[in-house]
């Protein structure tokens, strides 16, 4: 097993309510066996007390040990480190067996997958310009904060009158702001509202009528979180970096459907090596938000093309 951290420059700053980044800091795991190499990538996230150093330390603690995917679920907690290792194991298994991951799982991948394209946090005018620059995008995700969210959303809606909209405050709103904003969000034809209030305040949603479906992101990491979300959220966002890999993400998808949740598949700002395994969940989701590599100055060789809101498969042998 080899482990390395990488800082991948972005073509422009990526701003959300918690701050801005100019690079994607990732950790890559490579597993070599039988002349084959399996790869996985993760994004350590400070929101969950992760850093590249802490994730690499978790992985280095497993050096020299023979582990399969089932054992990894027990040896590492849900999070970025387990995601990188789990995805590398899936990739290695596929390359050693000659059977692709999608085929092994019985998942029929479409020729291309429609995904949301993100308008990052800025002034309303600048956000409208971002939306116009997305051209034929049919699904737009709008990052907002608590300063002028309705003005920002109005600006994007005017710039993209036909697009479906997802609004994502990243926990920046209060329950009162949410309750006040929901009627206008419905009038603006917002399809989904992602984690508007802090995850720790999710109980407030039990008393708010969801005029727009509300999706749990920071409030939902693994299958174990799902029961507490019933009656509060209508959708859950499955991200491999939160779940700790494709293995748990598949379990989450099954459990969420059984509990009546709609499903969104999301990602962090990362290269296509992070996006490729998430595409297997995205192909089975109601909403797909897998444009994390769109802002890369340079994606990985053989990466997944993204054109007009459609995500196309990577080159053969890229992952899985």
C-beta separation of 26 from 6 below 8 A:
yes
Of the residues 141, 143, 242, 316, only one is catalytic, namely 143
Sequence-ordered list of residues with C-beta below 8 angstroms from that of 49, at least 6 positions apart, any chain: none
Tell me what pLDDT residue 258 has. Answer: 98
Confirm whether 104 is a catalytic residue.
no
pTM for this prediction: 0.95
What 215-218 contacts at long range (C-beta under 8 Å, 24+ apart), as own/partner pairs, is 215/262, 215/264, 215/287, 217/168, 217/170, 217/266, 218/47, 218/170, 218/171
Q: Which CATH superfamily is domain 2-98 in?
A: Enolase-like, N-terminal domain (3.30.390.10)
3 state SS of 64: coil
pLDDT in tens, 151-169: 999 999 999 999 999 999 9
Cα separation, 114 vs 172, whole angstroms: 27
Tell me what pLDDT residue 304 has. Answer: 94
Confirm whether 95 is a catalytic residue.
no
Evaluate whether 2-98 and 105-311 have a shared fold. Answer: no
Cα separation, 29 vs 3, whole angstroms: 5
Of the residues 95, 141, 239, 242, only one is catalytic, namely 239
pLDDT in tens, 87-109: 999 999 999 999 999 999 999 99
pLDDT in tens, 161-211: 999 999 999 999 999 999 999 999 999 999 999 999 999 999 999 999 999
Question: DSSP assignment, residue 313?
Answer: P
Q: What is the mean pLDDT of residues 125-131?
A: 97
Looking at the domain 105-311, which fold is it?
TIM Barrel (3.20.20)
pLDDT in tens, 262-309: 999 999 999 999 999 999 999 999 999 999 999 899 999 999 999 889
Q: Where in the chain are the domains? A: 2-98, 105-311
Tell me what pLDDT residue 218 has. Answer: 96
Tell me what pLDDT residue 66 has. Answer: 86
């Amino acid at each position: 097993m080899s482990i390395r951290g990488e800082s991948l420059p972005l073509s422009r700053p990526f701003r959300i309510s918690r701050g801005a980044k100019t690079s994607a800091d990732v950790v890559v795991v490579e597993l070599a066996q039988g002349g084959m190499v399996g790869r996985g990538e993760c994004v350590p996230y400070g929101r969950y007390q992760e850093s590249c150093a802490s994730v690499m330390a978790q992985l280095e603690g497993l050096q020299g040990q023979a582990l399969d995917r089932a054992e990894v679920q027990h040896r590492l907690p849900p999070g970025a480190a387990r995601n990188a290792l789990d995805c590398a194991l899936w990739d290695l298994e596929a390359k050693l067996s000659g059977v692709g991951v999608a085929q092994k799982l019985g998942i029929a991948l479409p020729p291309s997958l429609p995904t949301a394209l993100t308008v990052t946090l800025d002034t309303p005018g600048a956000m409208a310009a971002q939306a116009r620059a997305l051209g034929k995008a049919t699904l737009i995700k709008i990052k907002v904060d608590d300063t002028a969210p309705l003005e920002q959303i109005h600006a994007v809606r005017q710039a993209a009158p036909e697009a479906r909209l997802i609004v994502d405050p990243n926990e920046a709103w209060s329950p009162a702001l949410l309750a006040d904003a929901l009627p206008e969000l419905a009038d603006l034809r917002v399809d989904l509202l992602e984690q508007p209030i802090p995850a720790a305040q999710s109980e407030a949603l039990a008393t708010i009528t969801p005029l727009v479906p509300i999706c749990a992101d920071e409030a939902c990491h693994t299958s174990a979180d799902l029961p507490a979300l019933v009656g509060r959220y209508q959708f859950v966002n499955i991200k491999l970096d939160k779940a700790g890999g494709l293995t748990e993400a598949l379990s989450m998808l099954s459990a969420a459907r059984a509990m009546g949740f709609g499903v969104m598949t999301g990602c962090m700002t990362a290269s296509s090596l992070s996006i490729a395994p998430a595409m297997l969940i995205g192909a089975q989701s109601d909403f797909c938000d897998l444009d994390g590599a769109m802002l890369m100055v340079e994606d990985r060789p053989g990466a997944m093309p993204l054109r007009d809101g459609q995500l196309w498969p990577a080159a053969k042998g890229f992952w899985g």
